[in-house]
Structure 1
C-alpha cells in the first residue's frame, strides 16, 4: 500500500462528484477514493484509477488483506463498471441505508458484487445494460437451490435475502453510471415476498428468537470450564512474568558467546529450579495463553463484542464511588456496530485485573510497533505507514502478522477464534467457542440474574438487579444495545417458562399454577388467541415472572415471605406462585428434613405446629407434581 504524499484539502474531497457520469477517463481516474492522516496531513491512499483500493477506518481486528478491494479479480468486462458502482456506493450509499456505509460494508458489498458479476459472465452477459429480470431471477434461484458436497442447501435464507438486496442495489447504483441496467430486475418476477426479502424484528413478533439461527448459547458447563481455566492463568500471570524476567539472567550466567540453542537448553532446568513444572517450551505456551485467557475473562465479564475489545487500549478503564459507597469499575473502548463511538461498560474488578495483566503482556509487542514507526520516520516523516501502525500502537490484543513480514498488529477475529478453539481443546471440551458466543452468554447470565436464578451478577453488577433504565442512568456512555440484548434474553427465558406452563402434560402447584391448569384445560384458552405462540407471547409479556429458587413468583414485588423465610407458602395456594416439576427435588429435600425434625424434642409446641403445617404443604405439592412421598 502506497500513498501520494500531498497535503490534501478534505473539503475538496467531500466536494468531489458523487458519481462518474460524464467524466473523461483522466478526470475519473483522478477521483480520490480513500485518505489517511499522517502528521496532521491528509495523504491520498487510493484513487479511482488504481487497480486496487485500500479501505480506511475499519475496525482494528480487520486483517490487512480484508481492507483491500482488488478489481483485477473481477471479469475484465465489468471492472470499470464495478468501480463506478462501488464509488457511488461509498459516496452516497444505497436505498435503505440511513448513512454512507462503513468500511466493512464496502468490502462485503464488493465480495457480493463479485459473485453476481461472475455469474453474469458465465451466462454470457458482459455489460450491465444487458442484464434482464430473467437473468437476475435465475441468479437468485441458483443461490437458493445450490447444494453443498453433503447434498444440503448451501446458503441460509438470510444469505439469499442479502443477495436479493445486492441485485436491487446494483440496479439502483448503476443508474448513476454511464451504462445502467435498463429494466428493474424484479418488475416482472415476484421472486420473493417482501417479508422474506426484508426480515424485520418487531416487539410483537417473537422478538426473543433473534439469536436462534445465529448465535448458539454456550452451555453452562462449557462456559464454567473455559472461564475457570482462563482465570487460573490470569491469576498465575504475575508469577509467569516474574519467571520470564528471571530467565534473562540465564544467558549472562552461561559461557561466553553461547549459541541460541544452548541458552534455550539451559532455560528448562532454570524454570524447574524456580518451581515451574514443565519444559521451556511448555512455559512459552503457557505465557502465550495469557492473551486468550485475558480475552475470555474480559469478554465474559463485560459482554463486549470482539471489535470493541480490539479497540481497547492501555489505561482504558477507571472507577467511580457512588453515593451508596460502592465502587464501580468502567471499561472504555469504541463501538462501531451501531455507530456509538466512544462507549463504556460496567465490569467487575476481576475484568480490570485481566486488563492489567493483558497490558503487561502486550508491552513488548507495543514496543515493537514503536520501533517500526521510528524506522518509517527515519525514511520519511510523512510516510503513510506511520498512521497505519499508530492505530495499533496502544492496542492490547496484539500478535505478529507473518503474512506481512511479521508486523505486530491487533489480532483478527479469525486468529482469536483459532486460539479459542485450541484453548477449549486443551480444556478437554468438544464445544467450539467463538468470539460472538461470549456476548450472548453474558446477556443470558444477566437476564437470569434479573430473573432471579443467579446471584453472581447481582453482587458484581449491583444495579442490574433493579430496573434497566435506572441502571443505565448510572453512566450515559454505557452501551445501550447490550441492555437491549439482555432484555431479549429475558424475553426468551420468560417465553420458555410460559411454554412449559401451557403444556397440558406438565403438573403445576401453587395458587397461580392451579389456575393456569384449570384455564389451559378449558376452551377459553383456544378462543382467546390465534395460535399457541401468540398465547405464549401474550402471557410472557404481560406477566411478571422471576424465580426465587423453589417456585416461579409472579408478584410485582419481593415482599412475600414465601420468597425467603416461609418457602412452603408458595405451594400452599399463594395467588402468585407456580411450582413445577423442576422444583420437585427441592420440596423432596424439605419434606425429608421436616420428617426428621418432627421427632425433635427441643422445638416446642410452636415449632412442632410449624413443622406439621409445612409437612402438609410439601406433601400436597409433591402429590400434585406426581412425586413418591415414600422416597422423599
Structure 2
C-alpha cells in the first residue's frame, strides 16, 4: 500500500529507510524564502541524531506522495483509534498507549505474522519488497533502500553540474549553497550534505578522468591542454600518481554542463552557445548525442530553407558546418549519421 510513493520519497529526499518509517502523518511543512520561492520539508526522527527531529528538503511531489500514503493508511489509523478508545474504557493502558503511538505513523501495515496486528512498517519489510520488485523485473541486482540515498546524492551532484535533464525540477532547490539551505532549517540532515559534496567531487573526478583517457575523443577550446596533460609523464610524477593528479586538478576547476559541452569558465564572458570555439570548453563523446540531434534538426530545416529566407538559410548552413566539424573531431562518420537520419525520417 503506497509502495511506489515510498520509493519516490526515498529517491527525492535522501532519507534513510528507518527515518522514512518514523515519519508521522502530515509531518511536513513549507517555507518561503526572501524571494518568494517555496521550499518543502519532510520531518522525521533519525537514529543518527539520537531520534531528535530532523528535516529533509524535498520537491513538492514528495509531499504529495506522503499525502497519498497518509490517505491510504487512514482506515488503519481509524481502526487504531477505535482500539485505543476500547482499551481506555476497559483500563488497558498498555494497549491504549501502543495504539496511540502507532496511529501517529504515516506508514501503517497489517503484520501477518502477528494475527494481522496493525503496526508501523519496518525497513526490513520495505527492503524485502524492493528485492521482490527487482526480481520481478528480471534484473540481477541485490537492491537495498540505502542505495536510494546514494542515488539521491548522485542526482543532486549532476544537477549542480547542470547535467540533469528530466529530473532537474525535483532537485532545483539543491542548487542553493549549503549555508543558505541550513539557514532555512537548522534541523536539516547535515550528514546528507557531506554525502552530496562527496558525490559531487566523485562525479567531477570521473569526468576529468574520462577526458584524460587516451581513448576518449574530445574537441573544444581546452582540447590541446587536456591532450598535453595526457601525454606528460612529468605532470603525473609531480602529483605522485595519476589518481592524485586527477583529484587535485578536479578540485581546482569548476565543471558545468551546457548540454552540448562541458564548461570550465568560472567568470563572466560566456560566448553564448558557441561552445566548440570557447577556450573554456571540452566536448567529449558523452555530448555527441546532443550534436547529432542538432545536426538532424538542421538537415530537416535545410529541406524547407526556402521558407525561412536568406538569413535563416545562412544560419542553418553555419550550424550544419559547426555540427559536422564537432562530430568529425569526435570521430563520428558524417555519412553514416546522414544515412541514419534519412532512414529515421522515412519511418516517421
> Does the TM-score normalized on the shorter chain lie above 0.5?
yes
Residue 291 of structure 2 corresponds to 587
Local SS of the residue matching 2:184: coil
Residue 69 of structure 2 corresponds to 358
Question: In the TM superposition, what is the alpha-carbon distance from 1:362 to its structure 2 partner?
Answer: 1.5
Please say if residues 42 and 56 of structure 2, whose CA atoms lie closer than 8 Å, have aligned partners that are also in contact.
Answer: yes
Residue 237 of structure 2 corresponds to 527
Question: In the TM superposition, what is the alpha-carbon distance from 1:537 to its structure 2 partner?
Answer: 0.9
* Structure 2: gaps (5+ residues): 338-348
Local SS of the residue matching 2:181: helix
Alignment of 1:249-398 (within 5 A): 290-339=1-50, 341-378=52-89, 380=91, 383-384=93-94, 386-398=96-108
Larger radius of gyration: 1
Question: In the TM superposition, what is the alpha-carbon distance from 1:553 to its structure 2 partner?
Answer: 0.9
CA distance in 1, matches of 2:177, 2:166: 17
Would the alpha carbon gap of residues 598 and 356 (structure 1) be closer, same or farther in structure 2, given more than 3 Å must change? closer
Would the alpha carbon gap of residues 452 and 393 (structure 1) be closer, same or farther in structure 2, given more than 3 Å must change? same
Alignment of 1:575 onto 2:286: no
Of 312, 328, 335, 1:623 maps to 328
Question: In the TM superposition, what is the alpha-carbon distance from 1:627 to its structure 2 partner?
Answer: 1.6
Please say if residues 156 and 171 of structure 2, whose CA atoms lie closer than 8 Å, have aligned partners that are also in contact.
Answer: no
CA distance in 1, matches of 2:191, 2:166: 22
Local SS of the residue matching 2:57: strand
CA distance in 2, matches of 1:385, 1:596: 72
Question: In the TM superposition, what is the alpha-carbon distance from 1:609 to its structure 2 partner?
Answer: 5.1
CA distance in 1, matches of 2:295, 2:4: 44
Question: In the TM superposition, what is the alpha-carbon distance from 1:371 to its structure 2 partner?
Answer: 4.1
Would the alpha carbon gap of residues 372 and 617 (structure 1) be closer, same or farther in structure 2, given more than 3 Å must change? same
Please say if residues 506 and 580 of structure 1, whose CA atoms lie closer than 8 Å, have aligned partners that are also in contact.
Answer: yes
Would the alpha carbon gap of residues 500 and 377 (structure 1) be closer, same or farther in structure 2, given more than 3 Å must change? same
Higher helix share goes to which structure? 2
Residue 179 of structure 2 corresponds to 469
Local SS of the residue matching 2:204: helix
Local SS of the residue matching 2:36: coil
CA distance in 2, matches of 1:295, 1:496: 31
Of 462, 482, 490, 2:200 maps to 490
Would the alpha carbon gap of residues 375 and 329 (structure 1) be closer, same or farther in structure 2, given more than 3 Å must change? same
CA distance in 1, matches of 2:302, 2:249: 41
Please say if residues 239 and 245 of structure 2, whose CA atoms lie closer than 8 Å, have aligned partners that are also in contact.
Answer: yes
CA distance in 2, matches of 1:379, 1:340: 32
Per-residue displacement from partner, 1:493-535 (whole Å, max 9, x unpaired)?
1111111111122221111122111222123322221111111
CA distance in 2, matches of 1:458, 1:474: 21
Would the alpha carbon gap of residues 322 and 461 (structure 1) be closer, same or farther in structure 2, given more than 3 Å must change? farther
Question: In the TM superposition, what is the alpha-carbon distance from 1:545 to its structure 2 partner?
Answer: 0.8
Please say if residues 43 and 53 of structure 2, whose CA atoms lie closer than 8 Å, have aligned partners that are also in contact.
Answer: yes
CA distance in 2, matches of 1:615, 1:361: 54
